[in-house]
Structure 1
Amino acid sequence: MAKGFYISKTVGVVGIVVGAAAVATIIALSVVYSQEKAKNNEVKPTEGTTTTTTTTTAAPTTAPSNEPWDSYRLPDTLLPDTYDVTLWPRLKPDNRGIYIFTGNSSVVFRCVKETDLILIHSNKLNLTAAPTLTALGSTPAPTIKTHWMQVTTQYLVIQLNDKLKVGESYELFTKFLGELADDLGGFYRSVYTENGQEKMLATTQMQPTDARKAFPCFDEPAMKAYFNITLLHDPETTALSNGRDIETVDVTVDGTTLKKTTFEQTRKMSTYLLAFIVSEFESINAIADDIRVFARKDAIAAGQGEYALNITGPMLKFFEEYYNSSYPLPKSDQIALPDFNAGAMENWGLITYRETALLYDPAVSSNGNKERIATIISHELAHMWFGNLVTIRWWNDLWLNEGFASYVEYLGADSAEPTWNIKDLIVLADVHRVFAIDALASSHPLSSKEEDVVRPEQISEVFDAISYSKGASVLRMLSDFLTEPVFVRGLSSYLNHFQFSNTVYTDLWDHLQIAVDQTSTDLPMSISAIMDRWVLQMGFPVVTINTATGHLSQEHFLLDPESNVTTPSQFNYEWIVPIRWMKNTGEQPLYWLQAKQAFRVTGNDWIVANLNVLGYYRVNYDMDNWERLLSTLQTSHESIPLLNRVQLIDDAFNLARAKIIPTTLALRTTQYLSTEREYMPWKSALDNLDYYYLMFDRSEVYGYLQAYIRQQVEPLFDHFKKLTGNWTDVPEGHYDQYNQVNAIRMACSSGLEECTTLVSGWFQQWIDNPSVNPIQPNLRATVYCTAIAAGGAKEWDFAWGMFQNATIAIEADKLRAALTCTTIPWLLNRYLEFTLDPNLIRRQDATNTIISIASNVVGQPLAWDFIRANWAYIFTQYGGGSFSFSNLINGITKRFSTEFELKQLEQFRDDNSEVGFGSGTLAIQQSIERTNANMKWLAQNKAAVMEWLINTNQIKPLG
């Protein structure tokens, strides 16, 4: 699955509201249906259909026991081989206004351990006939004694009168009915408008545990099987699934004329990778490669699928070469959905996307939108091998799937767009991003024990930045010190050996070790000995280099050094660290840090370690080396490699927050920026200064901070004014286009009157002539936000109207985010209420909209009150098991920095303990930890920061 928090790797959807931090990243929204229709989640059949509801024995009502059906993991008694599934989604409601689907499924399984019990996952499905069991061998099948739905653990439980025999195969047949809800999970419906007419489609999202909402199945990743899918659907619609359609015929069912589409059998695969879709969409295709892109008819007619189609073929060829393995399937379909819970999902042969992640229109799509599409497509295509062909055995190793795809997505995108130099962006988008979370005492290791990740909400909780971004970061580090040829050699061996099977992460280490042993690669110890320290313990080290004594040391880096680390580590929070470094005279040989060791440096040289940020660690220096580096930044910053300028800023600010170096030293790393024209150092600085906005935008320090930022950014603003011919041209370079956005965003938000006048003028031109938008696509998110923040109800209402009428999802997304930028409280309160109405704000966008409002300093207390007042409703409606809830809680509380706010947060935790927090449970603890750290930081640094800002160039506050 793609990162649910995708917007762009490089540029935020909206600019900073005056006095607010940068808007939070877009969060995936995975919604589950809110109301159980009956005790067994029963949905009664539509009147007039031929289905009838069977009576099932009530589930035991006693307390949880040691019975197999009270365990969330399947027993190791049965193994599925083949499924035959037929489904009929109704795209029109019944006479009660309920959308349903009906179906039947046969699963052939083999008994591997003697048992008189069949457990098969089933959630929110109602059986419409008694299940039947047939033996495929010579011995008759045992008769069924009783069956029931075990709601808590989501099983159909079937007890037999006799035992199944080891080695024999059996076929279980079920008929069922479910609700085709709008909950974005399992088999669900999505609605959109085309030519003024409301249209409906049926689609799927199975990962991680929702295939069981579509049909009864052994819904664990190791339970791979072959699937034969048949879909019944309305004549005007088209059906899609993982395999090619091999036949479509007209049929009549219960007097209804339908099409029946049968698909070829899938390869052996996991249930979470299944997909089936019924829609009126159209497609474009590359016939030679059997690649198709599906979307709404008007989107296809407008050519919005062309870019995705054009880059998919080259990316597939890149990955075939990279993996040294042919694409495993005969076709590759991609489809853009109006309602989707994540960025994208790697269903084998039928990848599903949000519209904003697949459709590109140069008239409205920014450079960042285009990059996002390229990287998400690359991420999903990478999964076709790593994740789909070879699959993790259980969700505790999710990081291996998602971390790997998050790393190589940059390689695949680079193959399609080589002029972007996109591979460097992993430092900002993944390494530095996840440092902030992994530096908390409440972080967690990449890989957990299987028994610690069993319930659906626990599984959803591992879909976090640790799995994606830390996974990507440590695999990039591994690839670097092994060298890419050795890494790829071991990877190819791993994929070929385990194809169509399942693995644990150590299997990859084994095959990489074989590749190392076959080459002259020099390592201080085995791959397992090195990498298990990065996988099995949370956090990362800060490496301290003393250039005076020539010694190195390492310690566990914690943002709050006084926090209590309760998670034990077998490695005592020590790592085997590959040190790439350089002196002012050039790059030096790779050095391995295992303990405190001698390190030869020349006293008058400046040195930089973690060259190009290829390692997953921070670096601190003695003060003399820091001074040499600061002097070099001021006099000849280009002599320090670009990514290490990025690193110096990020390391300094975070070392300061951890009280390792003075806060004023961190601030000094930004002084040279008035002469910096590269995007990435600016982005690093602004990301870190966001924390200062969060801490100070409600205090007297804020005015001085704004004045300093304006002083530093004004030369950059003038640079792009000249470069673009007074804002008429678009910069040529990929990163220059991003930095132009930074220049306008920060100049306006820091009070540069010329910028605000410019931006408000553009927006007013649009208001005056709504049919012609004069604002360049790259600048729209920032311009919309700034103009709405500077304006009033007129500007907000205009943008709301344009949002409601937007036919292109990317444009609608920019407007939706920009509407959170207003500084008028009643407008923000009204907007919060809109998030509860899916007719106004789509379910997939609701939590992100709330987070964006909370990012606005005016909106933050409103959003916090809203969440507390509506938590039970939001938790029920928007799915406690979804992985968006951790981001919602973190996004709402990131500004908390007072004793009063801490008490409120603790009270919120206690008041809602019975309702629960689902996948946000860990986020509550992280928010409390972060609030404590913020309080300490403010007490220790507020006066020093204010004094430094006042003394730096005699800055006076704005206002």
Structure 2
Amino acid sequence: MKIKNNILLGAILFISCINKINANVINEYWINSNNNSNIVPKIDNEITDVESDVTVVVDIDMESDISDSDDEVIDIESDILEVVDVDMDTESDVSELDNEESNIVTGIPEMNTDIFDIETGIPEMDTDIFDIETGIPEMNTDIFDIETGIPEMDTDIFDIETGIPEMNTDIFDIETGIPEFDEGDIETETDVVYSDTRLPENVLPVAYRLDFYTSIENSTFDGKEEIDIEILKDTNSIIFHSENLSLSNITISNENEVLKPNSIQFIKESNFVTLNFNETLKTDTNYTLHMQYSGKLNSNNIGYFIEEYDNKDGSLSRMAATQFEEAEARRAFPCFDEPQLKATFQLNMTVDDGYNALSNMNVVEIKEVENSNLKQKKYIFANSVKMSTYLVAFMVSKFQSISDKYNDIDVSIYVIPDRIEDAKYSLKVAIKLLKFYEDLFKIPYPLPKLDLVGIPNFNYGGMENWGLINFRSDYLLWNEKTDTSIIKCSVVSVIAHEIAHQWFGNLVTMKWWDDFWLNEGFATFMKDIATDIVEPELNINNNWYYENFASILKEDADNKLKPVYNFSSNPKYTEVWDMTSIYDKGRFIIRMMEFWLNKMNDNHSTSTISIEDNYFFKKISEYLDLYKYNNVDSKQLYEMLESYDENGQPLYHVSEIMESFIKQKGFPIVMMENLKNGNDLTITLSQEQFVSINSNLDDIEQNDTMINGNSTWVIPYSYSIYSNSTGKPELLESHYIILEDNDDKKFKTTISLPTKDDEASNTKIFIKGNEDQKGYYLVQYDDESIQVACEWLKSDLNFMSYLNRVGFISGIFTQLFEDRVENPATILNCLDYLKNEKSTLIWIEVLEYFNKLIERYENNMERNELIMKYISDLIKNIFEDIGWVEKEKEGIEKKSGIEDNTIINRQVLRTSLMNLSFYGEENNKRKALYYYNKIKNGTYNENLNMYILGSIFSIIFKYGDVDESDIDFILNELDSESSKFDKYSLIGGLEQVSDASLRKKILEKFSNDIENDFNLDDDEYQDLKIELLLNWASEDYYLSFTFVRDHWDNYFKEKYLNDNYELIYLIETIYYKSKNDDEHSQEIASWIDMIDEKEKKINFEDEIIDEDHDDNNLENKENDDDPIILWLKEHY
């Protein structure tokens, strides 16, 4: 999430805290090995390139003890790597014995096991001079490397790490070590024989056996692999994925023979390795693919990556972990890297002394590795359940753990040693969540253990690897003494999301990434429910509304979201993903279906969370049970949720509803018209696509339905009829209908009201659409309906539930801002009822609209003062109730008179109220100055949370009389390890500094930090500095530019190469701000061309739009007939 203004940090961080809102010496030892080969795969020599992106394979057939050194040729200029074997026709020293004389599994002659190792065929002579595992003579370690067998002769002619002779670079590629021999008699192929982006359907992986060695010190890994495969169609080739790996010793075996590929192709764009065989691989034969691989641990949090973190004592530690979603397992080991190709996985992990290893499954055995110059241990893990490659996970670290048991499941939290005490809360929560999900779905968690790992600088909130869940530490750890309840909520919410994935995504997985919403939409939906159940004192069940429901609707209306379902065959599917749409829009569509299906079956939506009493969860349980360990698509879910009549016809329109909502951009708005004639009420409903007047129509393709207005939805529509026939407004009845996708797009019904004839003329009616805001659509009210509802709210605001009230208020605000009301005064008159409104949820939403109203007139001081006077009048009562300081203990304690009152809601609302001070609300400005003076003179001891403190610093540095002493105070607090104030709050204050000399002083301090390498490893702090530069760039882009330019080589370049989003966005902003400046535009454009020439990370195509500022037809109007200003002048 892009944070542009730190005074909004409270609400933004709360939203962020809830959302997920984008991560080996080889010894043979296999668990449950299914190697049916009668012949040991031939050992091949390799020359590998682990530096480049090219997979290098060099095979030499060594059937004899003496080779004749025939040549091979590899084309390293093209994207396709060809390797062709040249057999060396020499006699073998080993005779072909009958099976009676040979081991039937290995094909090794069963001579004298006292002198031969039965598995490897290595003579067991004198272990004093032979390494028992490698067969390398242990002669003089002064001249032989004990691990590689490479003579340690003259390092001037041998590379000590690779063993590649550093001879004549005319015949060796100095980077890859690939011999550049003449082609000679070697026949090579150059044509790409397979051009699809998906794997062919001729091979099915069944079981992987992986043996890793990881060197944390050298940031390298290597491994040996076996993959049992099933041939689905006779074929002469096998295609799998590999990226940035060096491969060697590739063979395939069945029970009768070992086959070597006659050629190998590597297609870089798709990461395909194609093995071509002279022989046909038959469908009725079992095969095992064998190979070795090696690679480098990257620092980008994808694939198999290295991570550094600081210890409390100032020392630096390293660890390695994996992040394979969506198509990154291929970076760690060769595999069939598509989600529908599920298999079992058995891993062994060899690690150096002091490190431990984790993987998806439990440890079966830990063995000391003998005869190594390094002290090492091998972790042998149990065979896994059937799962997708993107869920495979392993980790090498020095983390510590705490554990407990739930039933027979070992639940553990692994974190850096300094934070182990802060993991206790997460352990309790994880066990509660496991129990909740098992009880709800009636499907046990299938693994013997569940590990939750906190990685300090992990790029993602969490990753649901089966049995080994990765988290960014901030989302796993909670300190009762120092952390707020909002952080607590964040921890529970993210854990709930990731554990939900153990069923949604892991147990049942989408067939392809276009149905990714089946994973993420459901996990996000479930975490709302689960968090409220397992931690009821947080009481967040209805926080979904201000959390992001309203903001998602806004983005969708502005044409900023892609459809939830967005097909692409590209295995790197993130190029077409829209995370907001998949996670949040998907989640709200699921919530709409849950409400609809339960209403159709006379169930309450989530008031009863059990499959016995809740139709939706009963069907979900059946879905999970039917498809466990398998893959599904959306239609299979729809079929499970549906019910059918005796003729087999669907009753609930599940497929039609879901298809219309997940495969289209945008959402509908339903216009309601009602006509009362005596006791008869005629309701007419029509729909259209809601398109905000703020949408940039230039970005919409001409064939987009938003242009021609053809989009319609199958809407599960709900409406409630309220009547005052008894003398006060009361709910009369509720209705649930399908508003279908038909030609006239209208639905009309007439209802007879239960009123007496003499009462009919005096009875008023209000119809509230979208009960409790469960539907993913808006409702538009006519002026008369708005007047009736507001009249009743002023006398009895509880005639509607607070969820219905927030939906109604949000709806009429939308009509005001979107010019969908006949007379704006109708809505402005209505809002006077807010003086008595006590719902924190409603106020959080209302303040969002107040901020938009302020922004419309911020450039006109007279009108801005009028707006602030109006808002101050409306918020006075709620501000007195909420206050600046939270005095109560965290929990559900009710503060008299405030509905949906929880400490989290109060904290968010309090922060939102503080934000109004930023726009000039005088009472808050005075209060902020009072607290700031106490902070600066050392007398501050109040319990203000970090978000309120952020507002205080922002207000003071925007409106206060700030001098160098204030800057020094903030900078000293930023450097102090004992500061009471978080860096978010402090930097937020500095962002508001506008004086050029004070800005220069701040940048001088940041320059010194860079030169002295001070605090540069605190990534979050450094990103906040970039946010500051971005904030300043809106007014003084050249100042931000010169700072970035001057510190490019010694600081910013590394962040740029590591895809730091904030920095790239800052550079783009600087570019667009400079376009109209003749003095500096060419200088900046040339510099960006220079630094971006190779990487092409900077986007020059799309204009940077200020997301915090809405343009629409009412903004900054200077005309005298502005209806809002006219109304304000009349009333204020």
TM-score where L is the length of structure 2: 0.70
SS of residue in 1 equivalent to 2:333: coil
Partner of 1:394: 512
Partner of 2:653: 526
Counterpart amino acid of residue 642 in structure 1: Y
Equivalents in 1 of 2:327, 2:501: separation in Å?
A: 18
CA offset at residue 373 of structure 1? Answer: 1.1
Partner of 2:144: none
Name which of 399, 408, 418 aligns with 1:298.
418
User: Do residues 249 (structure 1) and 249 (structure 2) align?
Assistant: no
CA offset at residue 924 of structure 1? Answer: 7.1
CA offset at residue 590 of structure 1? Answer: 2.0
Name which of 305, 308, 329 aligns with 2:426.
308
Partner of 1:160: 277
CA offset at residue 242 of structure 1? Answer: 1.0
Larger helix fraction of residues: 1
CA contact (8 A) 2:866 2:1128 kept: no
Partner of 1:840: 1016
Partner of 2:557: 439
Partner of 2:839: 678
Equivalents in 2 of 1:325, 1:161: separation in Å?
A: 48
Counterpart amino acid of residue 299 in structure 2: D
CA offset at residue 357 of structure 1? Answer: 0.9
CA contact (8 A) 2:452 2:471 kept: yes
Partner of 2:206: 81
SS of residue in 1 equivalent to 2:380: strand
Equivalents in 2 of 1:284, 1:103: separation in Å?
A: 30
Equivalents in 2 of 1:352, 1:808: separation in Å?
A: 30
Equivalents in 1 of 2:235, 2:1010: separation in Å?
A: 49
SS of residue in 1 equivalent to 2:422: coil
Equivalents in 1 of 2:1120, 2:888: separation in Å?
A: 39
C-alpha spacing 1:116/1:803, structure 2 compared with 1 (3 Å):
farther
Equivalents in 1 of 2:226, 2:332: separation in Å?
A: 13
Equivalents in 2 of 1:345, 1:716: separation in Å?
A: 40
CA contact (8 A) 1:763 1:784 kept: yes
> Relative CO higher for 1 or 2, CA cutoff 8 Å, sep ≥ 6?
1
C-alpha spacing 1:776/1:443, structure 2 compared with 1 (3 Å):
closer
CA contact (8 A) 2:304 2:323 kept: yes
Partner of 1:62: none
CA contact (8 A) 1:126 1:177 kept: yes
C-alpha spacing 1:17/1:29, structure 2 compared with 1 (3 Å):
closer
Equivalents in 1 of 2:719, 2:977: separation in Å?
A: 49
C-alpha spacing 1:392/1:674, structure 2 compared with 1 (3 Å):
same
CA offset at residue 416 of structure 1? Answer: 1.1
Name which of 754, 776, 785 aligns with 1:625.
785
CA offset at residue 418 of structure 1? Answer: 1.9
Counterpart amino acid of residue 280 in structure 1: K
Map of 1:64-75 to 2, 5 A cutoff? 67=192, 70-75=195-200
CA contact (8 A) 1:559 1:654 kept: no
Partner of 1:474: 589
Name which of 688, 713, 719 aligns with 1:555.
688
Counterpart amino acid of residue 566 in structure 1: N
CA contact (8 A) 1:146 1:158 kept: yes
Name which of 873, 880, 895 aligns with 1:718.
880
Map of 1:925-944 to 2, 5 A cutoff? 934-937=1110-1113
Name which of 756, 764, 767 aligns with 1:604.
764
CA offset at residue 888 of structure 1? Answer: 5.6
C-alpha spacing 1:881/1:530, structure 2 compared with 1 (3 Å):
farther
Map of 1:41-60 to 2, 5 A cutoff? 48-49=160-161, 55=178
Q: Deviations over 1:652-688 (max 9, x none)?
A: 3333443323666666665443333322112112233
CA contact (8 A) 1:239 1:279 kept: yes
Equivalents in 1 of 2:867, 2:1043: separation in Å?
A: 30
Counterpart amino acid of residue 952 in structure 1: L
Equivalents in 2 of 1:413, 1:887: separation in Å?
A: 35
Name which of 704, 708, 712 aligns with 1:567.
704
CA contact (8 A) 2:22 2:461 kept: no
Counterpart amino acid of residue 734 in structure 1: I
User: Do residues 511 (structure 1) and 672 (structure 2) align?
Assistant: no
C-alpha spacing 1:743/1:184, structure 2 compared with 1 (3 Å):
closer
Equivalents in 1 of 2:888, 2:439: separation in Å?
A: 45
Counterpart amino acid of residue 528 in structure 1: S
Q: Deviations over 1:433-469 (max 9, x none)?
A: 2112221345432212343xx152x425415111111
CA offset at residue 246 of structure 1? Answer: 1.9
CA contact (8 A) 1:723 1:731 kept: no
CA contact (8 A) 1:21 1:694 kept: no
C-alpha spacing 1:682/1:773, structure 2 compared with 1 (3 Å):
closer
Counterpart amino acid of residue 80 in structure 1: P
CA contact (8 A) 1:460 1:882 kept: no
- Please say which of residues 81-90 and 240-249 is displaced more in the overlay: 81-90
C-alpha spacing 1:775/1:562, structure 2 compared with 1 (3 Å):
closer
User: Do residues 590 (structure 1) and 740 (structure 2) align?
Assistant: no
CA offset at residue 282 of structure 1? Answer: 1.3
User: Do residues 367 (structure 1) and 485 (structure 2) align?
Assistant: yes
Counterpart amino acid of residue 730 in structure 2: T
User: Do residues 952 (structure 1) and 1128 (structure 2) align?
Assistant: yes
Equivalents in 1 of 2:859, 2:807: separation in Å?
A: 29
Map of 1:23-172 to 2, 5 A cutoff? 37-38=51-52, 40=54, 48-49=160-161, 55=178, 67=192, 70-93=195-218, 99-127=219-247, 130-138=248-256, 140-172=257-289
Partner of 2:92: none
Partner of 2:302: 185
Counterpart amino acid of residue 216 in structure 2: L
Q: Deviations over 1:559-607 (max 9, x none)?
A: 1389356335998423233223241421423233224122447772222
- Please say which of residues 543-552 and 146-155 is displaced more in the overlay: 146-155
Q: Deviations over 1:32-51 (max 9, x none)?
A: xxx995452899x9964477
- Please say which of residues 608-617 and 720-729 is displaced more in the overlay: 720-729
Q: Deviations over 1:347-396 (max 9, x none)?
A: 11111111221111133322211111111111111110011000011111
C-alpha spacing 1:219/1:622, structure 2 compared with 1 (3 Å):
same
CA offset at residue 556 of structure 1? Answer: 0.7
SS of residue in 2 equivalent to 1:631: helix
- Please say which of residues 558-567 and 524-533 is displaced more in the overlay: 558-567
Counterpart amino acid of residue 818 in structure 2: A
SS of residue in 2 equivalent to 1:15: helix
Equivalents in 1 of 2:767, 2:674: separation in Å?
A: 8
C-alpha spacing 1:471/1:597, structure 2 compared with 1 (3 Å):
same
Name which of 199, 203, 213 aligns with 2:317.
199
CA offset at residue 823 of structure 1? Answer: 4.8
Equivalents in 2 of 1:448, 1:554: separation in Å?
A: 24
TM-score where L is the length of structure 1: 0.82
Counterpart amino acid of residue 712 in structure 1: L
SS of residue in 2 equivalent to 1:465: helix
C-alpha spacing 1:562/1:354, structure 2 compared with 1 (3 Å):
closer
SS of residue in 2 equivalent to 1:305: helix
SS of residue in 1 equivalent to 2:490: helix
CA contact (8 A) 2:400 2:416 kept: yes
Name which of 891, 895, 906 aligns with 1:737.
906
- Aligned length in residues: 912
C-alpha spacing 1:76/1:677, structure 2 compared with 1 (3 Å):
same
Q: Deviations over 1:5-27 (max 9, x none)?
A: 599xxxx9953399x99999589
CA contact (8 A) 2:447 2:467 kept: yes
CA offset at residue 257 of structure 1? Answer: 1.3
Equivalents in 1 of 2:554, 2:884: separation in Å?
A: 36
C-alpha spacing 1:331/1:855, structure 2 compared with 1 (3 Å):
farther
User: Do residues 540 (structure 1) and 677 (structure 2) align?
Assistant: no
CA contact (8 A) 2:844 2:912 kept: no
CA offset at residue 298 of structure 1? Answer: 1.7
CA contact (8 A) 2:1064 2:1097 kept: no
Q: What stretches of structure 2 of length at least 5 have no aligned partner?
A: 24-48, 58-147, 149-157, 165-175, 182-189, 599-604, 606-613, 676-681, 723-728, 754-762, 895-901
Map of 1:268-287 to 2, 5 A cutoff? 268-287=386-405
Equivalents in 1 of 2:327, 2:1005: separation in Å?
A: 32
Counterpart amino acid of residue 903 in structure 2: H
